[in-house]
Amino acid sequence: MKLLWKLLRAHISVTQFAGFFITNLIGLTIVLAGIQFKEDLKPFFAQGDSFLKDDYIVVSKKVSALGSLVGSTGGFSDKEIQNIEEQPFVKTTGKFEAARFRISGGLKMPGTNLSFQTYMFFEAVPDRFLDIKVDEWKFNENTGEIPIIIPRSYLNLYNFGFAASRSMPKLSEGMIKMLRLDIFINGNGQRAEYKGKVVGFSNRLNTILVPASFLTWANSEYGAKENEEPVRIIMEVTNSSDEKLASYLSSKGYETEGNMLNSGKLAYFMRIIIFMVLGVGVLICLLSFFILILSIYLLLQKNSDKLKNLMLIGYSGFRVSFFYILFAVSLNLIATALSVSLVAWLRKLYIAIFSEMLPDINFSGISIILLYAFILFIIISLTDLFIILGKVKGIRNNK
Amino acid sequence: MDKILLEETLPSVFKNKTQSSDSEIWLKDISFIRGRAYLVEAASGMGKSSLCSYIYGIRNDFEGKIFFDNENIGKLRNSEWNHIRKRSLSMMFQGLSLFDELTGFENVELKNRLTHFKSKQEISEWFYMLGIEDKLDQKVSLMSFGQRQRVALIRSLCQPFDFLILDEPISHLDNENGRIFTSIMTEEVKRQNAGLIITSIGKHPEMHYDQILKL
């Protein structure tokens, strides 16, 4: 075998194969990084607690000076809601139900006599509009414990605004979830005491949420007035970056909360960018593959006399091709392994940033690119194999 | 393989020429039998090397048919040719087909590794007998054509064969080396009980031939 290699390695051009190796490495790295990045972004796109997948929009009517003076409630009538639901870009809508009784919440500091108390409000939306999964999103009558979801922005406001400026300790989400609030309800001539437990933080819903079933019951029990028109509506839309949606909302004079329309556009552009990057990566991979094939063709052509002679003295086509196949596959293997490690390293960098943004999310790991890298490696290697064997056969048959 | 049969064979380029009518091989039915020695004589340009190439399966630009025993060689697959060239048919090419960048010994060893037929000692002995023992480790590119012919002969003997085909084997050897060449070659052919086909345009190994054919 050593003799064969001595013969056949002649004319191997280091520059050509270095060219292949580097382009292959770059192409593979881009493709694999794109796939990995897309995979890591999946939680942002797919999970409820997501700033990218905002196909949910909360709308309200503009609060105007005139409206306030004439005592308009600013609520949505049944007719208006029906009109919204009839729009083609709206999938479903849900009403915000507000508590029609007085609520105050208190907190006792354990081991001291210190306690805080504040007025609060509750709202509820149908469960399907919640952006987080909570195991027990139900009022527990036995313990009198009400599950509560608060906006994540409240916590951020405290941690990054208030606590930072007063040099007070920051509170983690886990700590907040351990606290038990004393909830006092007043209304309809009745008074009741419950326990409140924060079970989650929402990015989508900018209010203090309790289960809809609890609020409906509590409104009938303690509620002072009859049903009021909802002032806010949540709706699920097909595509929040849709132009028609934006023009419909502005024509009706509705306002959206936060920058939900913008984040929809962001998600849309994000996807386009990832696909573009993947496309560029695939293109570079293809180019590198052509470089490899051309280099091998050239190499085989330059060594064609020797290959022919070897086959004349009885060497099989496979045996004389073996070194070239081994060479191409080894180069490919090294490039693949290197690009996987490169992607793994890159991933470490961005995952660190992601985790700071969303500590709750478990990222899936790099098994996906290992799989893709393996599949690509097999495909490229097999193609190499067939191309080299075909070319050697052509040389043997004087083609 | 006990018989090589040529059935009205003719190089395609000779199709419209009359000169082949004198030939004792072209357009005739000729058998080469294992165990016998044949000398094919011809002036240059009559297709000696073509004949060797047809039998060895390198070219197929001929009319008629060639059979190994009863098998039409036009139907052999590459893998079958590989086997035949390792086990049944050995050839010393007129152009020798040695590898310039390898030494004399490496050229022989390249074949011997495929067949595991001769020991290193036997090979060295042949180099010694043919007076080229100092060329064992010298690159072929630095050898004269006569020295290369001797290396090519040794290579062609490093395999089992039913037929040995030598295409103008001693054209560049002096008489003494030609004699040694002939004795080594005939001894190996006899040992393997093989058929021998030698082509020549004049100078050929001095030995007994069962049949001399004019091409």
- Per-residue pLDDT averaged across A323-336, rounded? 91
| Higher pLDDT pick, A243 / A86 | A86
Joined tokens for residue A85: 């639901």
Count of all residues that appear for chain A in the document: 399
- Burial readout B188-208 (b: 16 or more C-beta within 10 A, e: otherwise): bbeebebbbbbbbeeebbeee
Rg of chain A in Å (alpha carbons): 32
The architecture of the domain spanning B3-214 is: 3-Layer(aba) Sandwich (3.40)
- Best of B49, B56, B76, B85 to disrupt the A interface (most A CBs within 10 Å) is B85
Q: Cβ of B82 and A311 within 8 Å?
A: yes
pLDDT at A155: 84
- B86, B97, B113 member nearest A3 (Cβ): B113
Q: Are residues A188 and A219 both part of a single domain? A: yes
Query: Does position B52 have pLDDT exceeding 90, yes or no?
Result: yes
Burial class (CB in 10 A: 0-12, 13-18, 19+), A128: exposed
Please, are residues A238 and A89 in contact by the beta-carbon 8 Å criterion? Answer: yes
Chain B residues 149-208 with CB within 8 Å of chain A: 155, 159
Separation in Å, CA of A320 to nearest CA in chain B: 12
Report chain A residues whose CB lies below 8 A from the CB of B58.
312
Q: Which of A212, A234, A261 delimits the end of a domain? A: A261
Please state the ipTM of this predicted complex: 0.89
Q: Please, are residues B166 and B96 in contact by the beta-carbon 8 Å criterion?
A: no
Instruction: Give the count of domains, chain A.
Output: 2
A275 and A296 together in one domain: yes
Q: Looking at the structure, do residues A217 and A280 belong to the same domain, yes or no? A: no
Residue A3 in this model has a pLDDT that exceeds 70: yes
- Tokens 């020429």 correspond to B17
What confidence score (pLDDT) does residue A52 get?
47
The residue behind tokens 């409820």 is A48
Residues 315-344 of chain A whose Cβ lies under 8 A from any Cβ of chain B: 315-317
Is B112 in CB contact (< 8 Å) with chain A?
A: no
**Looking at the structure, do residues A245 and A309 belong to the same domain, yes or no?**
no
Pick B168 or A74 by higher pLDDT. Answer: B168
CA angle A107, A110, A115 (to 5 degrees): 35
Which H/E stretch holds residue A374? helix A367-396
Does residue A48 have a pLDDT over 50?
A: no
Confidence of residue A49 (pLDDT cuts 50, 70, 90): very low
Buried b vs exposed e over A181-204: b needs ≥16 C-beta within 10 Å? bbbbbebeeeeeebebbbbbbbbb
DSSP 8-state class, residue B103: B
Cα(B138)–Cα(A154) distance, integer angstroms: 87
Q: Provide the sign of the torsion angle of the four alpha carbons B155, B157, B162, B166, taken in this order.
A: positive
C-beta of residue B4 within 8 angstroms of C-beta of residue B76: no
Q: Are residues A114 and A229 in the same domain?
A: yes
pLDDT exceeds cutoff 90 at A247:
no
Whether residues A194 and A101 share a domain: the answer is yes
Calpha distance A99→A215 (Å, rounded): 7
Q: What is the mean pLDDT of residues A85-95?
A: 86
Domain boundary among A212, A241, A261: A261
The answer to whether residues A60 and A8 belong to one domain is no
pLDDT value for B54: 93
Counting Cα atoms < 13 Å in the Cβ hemisphere of B129 gives: 17
As a whole-number percent, the residues of chain A with pLDDT over 70 amount to 87
Tell me how far CA of residue A177 lies from CA of A119, A122, A158, A213, in angstroms: 20, 18, 15, 22
Q: Locate tokens 């004319």: which residue? A: A11
Residue A74 contacts by C-beta under 8 Å, 6 or more apart in sequence? A60, A61, A63, A67, A231
Q: Which residues contact B150 (CB under 8 A, 6 or more apart)?
A: B130, B131, B132, B173, B177, B181
**One domain, residues A306 and A282:** yes
Q: Which residues of A touch B111 (CB under 8 A)?
A: 313-314
Instruction: Give the CA count within 13 Å in the CB-facing half-sphere of A386.
Output: 5
Q: What pLDDT band is residue B189 in, cutting at 50, 70 and 90?
A: very high
Residue A84 binned pLDDT confidence (cut-offs 50, 70, 90): confident
The pLDDT of residue A261 is 59
Residue labelled with tokens 């409630």: A73
For the beta carbon of residue A286, count every other beta carbon within 10 angstroms. Answer: 12
B196 touches B34 (CB < 8 A): no
Are residues A230 and A105 located together in one domain of the fold? yes
Q: Are strands A123-124 and A115-120 parallel, antiparallel or unpaired?
A: unpaired
Closest B-chain CA to A392: B78
Chain B residues whose CB is inside 8 A of the A306 CB are 99
- The β-bridge partners of A57 are A235
User: Which of the four pLDDT bands, split at 50, 70 and 90, describes residue A219?
Assistant: confident
Average pLDDT in chain A:
82
Query: Per-residue pLDDT for A361 more than 70?
Result: no
Q: Which residues of A touch B100 (CB under 8 A)?
A: none
**Is residue A399 less than 8 Å (CB to CB) from chain B?**
no
Q: What is the count of residue pairs from A and B with beta carbons less than 8 Å apart?
A: 46
**Can you tell me the mean pLDDT for A43-60?**
62
- Please give the torsion angle defined by the CA atoms of residues A320, A321, A325 and A327, in that order, rounded to the nearest 10 degrees: 40
- pLDDT at residue A168 greater than cutoff 80: no
Residue A136 has pLDDT above 80, yes or no: no
Inter-chain contact A316–B93, Cβ cutoff 8 Å?
Answer: no
Strand pairing partners for A95? A233
Residue bearing the bigger pLDDT, A257 or B58: B58
Q: Which of B99, B109, B114 shows the shortest C-beta gap to A314? A: B114
Mean pLDDT of A19-23: 87
Average pLDDT over residues B161-178: 92
Examine the domain organization and report whether A241 and A330 are in the same domain. no
Task: Name the one residue in this structure whose structure tokens are 């437990």.
Answer: A197
- Which one of A199, A229, A261 terminates a domain? A261
Answer whether A188's CB lies under 8 Å from A217's CB: no
* Closest-CA residue of chain A to B152: A313
pLDDT at position A336, please?
A: 93
pLDDT mean over B173-179: 91
Residues A244-250, mean pLDDT to the nearest whole number: 83
From CA B212, how far away is CA A136, in angstroms rounded?
A: 105
C-alpha distance across the termini of chain B, in Å? 24
Answer positive or negative: Cα dihedral of B121, B122, B127, B130: positive
pLDDT at A70: 63
A3:B58 CB<8 A: no
Contact list, A313 vs chain B (CB under 8 Å): 85, 97, 110-111, 114, 155
* Subunit contact A4:B114, Cβ cutoff 8 A: no
Cβ pair A313:B155 closer than 8 A:
yes
Look up residue A156 and give its two tokens.
Answer: 């951020």
Q: Is the pTM of this model over 0.80?
A: no
Q: Let me know whether A391 and A287 are in one domain.
A: yes
pLDDT digits (tens, 9 = 90+) for A111-123: 667 777 888 888 8
A265-289 pLDDT, tens digit each: 677 777 788 888 889 888 888 888 8
Interchain contact B101–A (C-beta under 8 A): yes
Average pLDDT over residues A181-187: 87
Distance between CA A244 and CA A250 in Å, rounded?
A: 10
Q: Which domain holds residue A381?
A: 2-49+265-396
Contacts with A151 (C-beta within 8 Å, 6 or more apart), sequence order = A201, A202, A203, A205, A206, A207, A208
The answer to whether residues A254 and A277 belong to one domain is: no
